[in-house]
Amino acid sequence: MTVVLRRIDVHKLDELRRAPVDAEALATAREVLESVRTGGDAAVRAAAERFGELPPDAPLVLEERELARALEATPSDERALLERATERIRAFAHGQRASIEDVALPIPGGRAGHSVTPIDRVACYAPGGRYPLPSSVLMTVVTARVAGVAEVWVASPKPARIVLAAAAVAGADALLAAGGPHAIGALAYGTESVPAVDLIAGPGSKWVSAAKQLVYGHCGIDMIAGPTELVLLCDDSADPGIVAADMLAQAEHAPDARPVLVATHAPLVAAVERELEAQLETLPTAEVARLALANGFAVVCDDVEQALAAADALASEHLSLHVREADRLAARPRHYGAIFIGQGAAEVFGDYGAGPNHVLPTAGAARYASGLSVLSFLRVRPWMRIDDPAGAAELCHDAAAFARLEGLEAHARAAERRRGGG
């Protein structure tokens, strides 16, 4: 079967935006969450066993010592791989943290500023359905630890040994051996063996995303993630073989992944299609990748300006530039989760621990949201101090005036008492 990418008109891209979760997923998640809220550990275990995540005699929660034992049983080459990726992620996160500082500024009669403090307890979700994802454990847990979070849990269904080892290397306190909405419910509401957390972070299925959406407000979440996406913006200098390889790397994630080729050179699309077919012949994950390629498409643009506009309209999770003068053009796109500048910057390097985080906004959310970072686990809280009441007379006057403008007399009187006027 020859690969033929759907052709989408550049002027119709706004019509393709997908909601990260659908009504069916929300309904299912709501039912599961309620069962966990009222049933606790028993409900979580029942769901985990029903979905084949947990054998009947297996522990629901793995403590730090069990994670450490998994790490000890990990072959030395795999352990070294985890440790190298961890150090790169940690170094990048430390750089982010160092860029975020407390602030103190003078105001009339005193000072005001903000303090930056970590969240107390968080949970990091790592998918474990089609493939075990130790990389997601590292991305979330290491970043939370660098932010200064005191207690970090991991949740992952059917956790493979390498996932447990990653949790140990990253510094997790414990792991909930369950996934889906039942894991999100346990983390949000708390159960007999799982404490309620303050924030849940990490990617997951549409049912996980639906559950995160529903528990938001009861606890915080990083984002509501939809299916993974990659836009490759290419001109006639792009290598069709590398473009095809990048599209397949994205496509093998899941059938609903969306690999997109935005090209300024029409013959490139046909060349990439030939490469896709050739590379699929020997790809073990070809069945999944073909489904995702059918979900993806190609957009042929008149020039680079139109291609840049197309990339902004898509506001994709990942944007990869396979163009001349990629460094110069990289400043032009406005909407993307992460950008990969030039043919050498493979998106898979971002997936596997080059440093920047791979938990990124999808479904157009890059228009208003950022990916996971140290900032996701920090609170920026303002403070104010008045040392000189006489020097704050202007503040007292203006606060009282605004209060009366809005019809709030008690506010005005509270302000005026600070200068002896009430």
User: Each residue of 284-339: pLDDT tens digit?
Assistant: 999 999 999 999 999 999 999 999 999 999 999 999 999 999 999 999 999 999 99
With respect to residue 300, please indicate whether it lies within any of the assigned structural domains. Answer: yes
Same domain (yes/no): 319, 177 = no
Residue 421: pLDDT above 60? no
pLDDT in tens, 174-233: 999 999 999 999 999 999 999 999 999 999 999 999 999 999 999 999 999 889 999 999
With respect to residue 400, please indicate whether it lies within any of the assigned structural domains. Answer: no
212: part of which helix (H) or strand (E)? helix 206-215
Same domain (yes/no): 344, 287 = yes
CA-CA-CA-CA torsion sign (76, 79, 85, 90): negative
pLDDT in tens, 378-420: 999 999 999 999 999 999 999 999 999 999 999 999 999 998 5
Nearest-CA neighbor of 251 among 160, 344, 364, 130? 130
With respect to residue 404, please indicate whether it lies within any of the assigned structural domains. Answer: no
Same domain (yes/no): 70, 202 = yes
With respect to residue 415, please indicate whether it lies within any of the assigned structural domains. Answer: no
Same domain (yes/no): 91, 152 = yes
Q: Please report the pLDDT score of residue 16 as a whole number.
A: 84
Q: Please report the pLDDT score of residue 103 as a whole number.
A: 97
Structural domains in the chain (count): 2
Same domain (yes/no): 121, 239 = no
| 3-class DSSP state of 15 | helix
CA distance 422 to 415: 9
Q: Of 367, 392, 412, which residue constitutes the final position of a domain?
A: 367
Residues in the chain, total:
422
Give the mean pLDDT of 7-12.
92
For residue 262, give the CATH number of its domain.
3.40.50.1980
Same domain (yes/no): 158, 290 = no
Computed over every residue of the chain, the mean pLDDT equals: 95
Q: Among all residues, which ones are annotated catalytic?
A: 317-318
Q: Encoding tokens for residue 64?
A: 């730090």
Same domain (yes/no): 178, 238 = no
With respect to residue 7, please indicate whether it lies within any of the assigned structural domains. Answer: no
Same domain (yes/no): 216, 83 = yes
With respect to residue 376, please indicate whether it lies within any of the assigned structural domains. Answer: no
Same domain (yes/no): 356, 275 = yes
With respect to residue 90, please indicate whether it lies within any of the assigned structural domains. Answer: yes
* Residue 273: domain span: 227-367
Q: Of 367, 389, 407, which residue constitutes the final position of a domain?
A: 367
Same domain (yes/no): 184, 290 = no
41: part of which helix (H) or strand (E)? helix 23-50
Q: Of 351, 367, 383, which residue constitutes the final position of a domain?
A: 367
305, 329 in Cβ contact below 8 A? no
CB count within 10 Å of CB 53 equals: 23
154: part of which helix (H) or strand (E)? strand 151-155
With respect to residue 416, please indicate whether it lies within any of the assigned structural domains. Answer: no
pLDDT in tens, 31-77: 999 999 999 999 999 999 999 999 988 999 999 999 999 999 999 99
Same domain (yes/no): 122, 160 = yes
CB count within 10 Å of CB 100 equals: 14
Same domain (yes/no): 44, 159 = yes
Q: Please report the pLDDT score of residue 419 as a whole number.
A: 84
